[in-house]
Structure 1
């Protein structure tokens, strides 16, 4: 599973919506404003983060009363940074592939190849109903997303592109200029259902999964990569994690407990009900959050489950363990973003790099003795 000499990479959730990354009334020194997010992006870039992921919301809900649009906000952050790659979340439905392809190709040129896309198939029907968008049943949303991705790839890599799908059609279309990135702009997606994993195994460059234990993540990763191999495709894996790094384990656990104790109970329960309704429509009858407890749902994407909560040494060891089962990227959330991103870069990341070197040395020794 471990890629020789390949370092695990890090992304952070951009707080471009209000409320932070936990559904809790705990005090947070995190803000959804552009000014705060520029400072955060610059701090993350200096602290060793490779990617930032913007969120897409069209309506208020679960504490996110205000939301900046993802693509324009991503471009705004790229304009104020030098190395960071920003992943813009896009919903098929509100966006059409022709617009997304053109929009992102232009940003790619303006930022010298630092834009990426996260194709979000959608799980919250109320949002789509509110803006008058079609809401296909669960597996059909992934059919639509797969067509969306195939169209993006075609438009970005071919001239005279034609496509005849259920949701999208192109006829002899040539996009000029094409993106700077080759073969195309990086494409991310999320989801834990069978339909989501199968789509990733066919068309996506990156697959985001919800937080989970190392053992459960290994099952998902092995499944996706076996399917991808059969399809002649390769996909990298990112896992969601809410990181609470403190000087002592007691301090870190106390922060977690305070987040849960001050949870917005009404909002968490509403979120849980919506996700269960969405999960019931999947082929397997359960979705991303089917096995999530109340505590898990306080962090949107099961970030507590990944257990990156403790001292810098504990967190570094757990991240290297994630790498050993095939995780390529950790998608990170924090309570107080700027301070904690900087702490992570200063205290945790150097330990991770040291452990990676030791891990690689052990693999080399094992290979020589085999």
Structure 2
């Protein structure tokens, strides 16, 4: 178990419709004023990161979508400590453009930008914007080249690279990012190709929601692979958090979200998502085995089961930490109110439990 405190991120609602595919009332907005205030509240309530979303087209309850890099910069300008992770999709972006954009933002914000490389799962979106749709493992091969190119541009002068997807000839970027050696690089995915890529090149690996046992298996696998590659990678897990004063109240909220789910939107999302997950050679990509209820929350966030009283949620977060999770990527029904509630009622309990475990470990070591 890491001796560092577990970190917290939240999904930026820069697309409309909230973070569940449900007709339930969500006091969450995709507009910039709401999101500036949310970023400030998250910063004040102990969140370390925010993750902007990349969507090019409407669908699955998201009619409107703000572009993530510009939106990330706006949130950074409204805060002083929060680090914001901009989602970038290889294909529409090239490494040269992304490296230049993010280096400038890093300079302008005191070194607080990061990047999430999204390999792509929605074929219809690529088709709509005229981008070629690669086979599953080829998308990850392209993403790995993208990350290697970013690192090279950000850390060296006269960068030369010969890949199957990207090529550079004696390219020097100036100014480079403030962060050393470079801004943090995140990626997601549950397939073998995704985990293998993370074990070679990424700083952080996001996994969809899962049980503690399921997450432990992924963490152990990716850490062993990374060690064999002389690399290290941190792990974040997706979770939809419903913390309420009583467990009955929290479970009732979950039941209402699912009861009011939009079946057409959930099934459309599920069909596209499963096509992506089952397209991996082993058929184990994101959402390949998700149920209807799981798919009501985009990234299997209900599976992580951070649903209950503040103490129950805190205990489950620490259980995740004990199996190697470094960060919880959070979504909420009503973001502003619930981020504040989490900061007041859940986070202090997490820190208390971490201190207790650290003291026990120290006592055993004596």
Q: Secondary structure at the match of 1:117?
A: strand
Supply the distance in 1 between the matched residues of 2:125 and 2:133 (Cα, whole angstroms): 10
Number of residue-to-residue matches in the alignment: 366
Question: How many angstroms does 1:281 deviate by?
Answer: 1.5
After superposition, residues 221-260 of structure 1 pair within 5 angstroms as 221-260=219-258
After superposition, residues 175-214 of structure 1 pair within 5 angstroms as 175-214=173-212
Detail structure 1 runs of 4+ shifted over 3 Å in the superposition: none
Given the two structures, how large is their TM-score scaled by the length of structure 2? 0.99
1:349 matched to 2:347? The reply is yes
- Contact 1:276/1:286, CA 8 A, preserved across alignment: no
* Corresponding residue of 2:276: 278
- Contact 1:147/1:168, CA 8 A, preserved across alignment: yes
Deviations 1:181-228 (A, max 9, x none): 000010000000000000000000000000000000000000000000
- Contact 1:237/1:328, CA 8 A, preserved across alignment: yes
Question: How many angstroms does 1:283 deviate by?
Answer: 1.0
Supply the distance in 1 between the matched residues of 2:361 and 2:339 (Cα, whole angstroms): 30
- Contact 2:11/2:52, CA 8 A, preserved across alignment: yes
* Corresponding residue of 2:335: 337
Supply the distance in 1 between the matched residues of 2:283 and 2:186 (Cα, whole angstroms): 24
Q: Secondary structure at the match of 1:207?
A: strand
1:304 matched to 2:302? The reply is yes
Supply the distance in 2 between the matched residues of 1:46 and 1:276 (Cα, whole angstroms): 38
Which residue among 2, 16, 19 is the counterpart of 1:18? 16
Question: How many angstroms does 1:278 deviate by?
Answer: 1.4
**Residue segments in structure 2 that go unaligned for 5+ positions in a row:** none
- Contact 1:201/1:231, CA 8 A, preserved across alignment: yes
Supply the distance in 2 between the matched residues of 1:128 and 1:34 (Cα, whole angstroms): 26
Supply the distance in 2 between the matched residues of 1:13 and 1:279 (Cα, whole angstroms): 22
Which residue among 71, 83, 88 is the counterpart of 1:90? 88
Supply the distance in 2 between the matched residues of 1:62 and 1:214 (Cα, whole angstroms): 28
Which residue among 108, 127, 130 is the counterpart of 1:129? 127
- Contact 1:156/1:179, CA 8 A, preserved across alignment: yes
Question: How many angstroms does 1:279 deviate by?
Answer: 1.9
Given the two structures, how large is their TM-score scaled by the length of structure 1? 0.98
Deviations 1:5-36 (A, max 9, x none): x1000000000000000000000100000000
Q: Secondary structure at the match of 1:52?
A: strand
- Contact 1:275/1:287, CA 8 A, preserved across alignment: no
Supply the distance in 1 between the matched residues of 2:284 and 2:236 (Cα, whole angstroms): 21
Question: How many angstroms does 1:286 deviate by?
Answer: 3.4
**Residue segments in structure 1 that go unaligned for 5+ positions in a row:** none
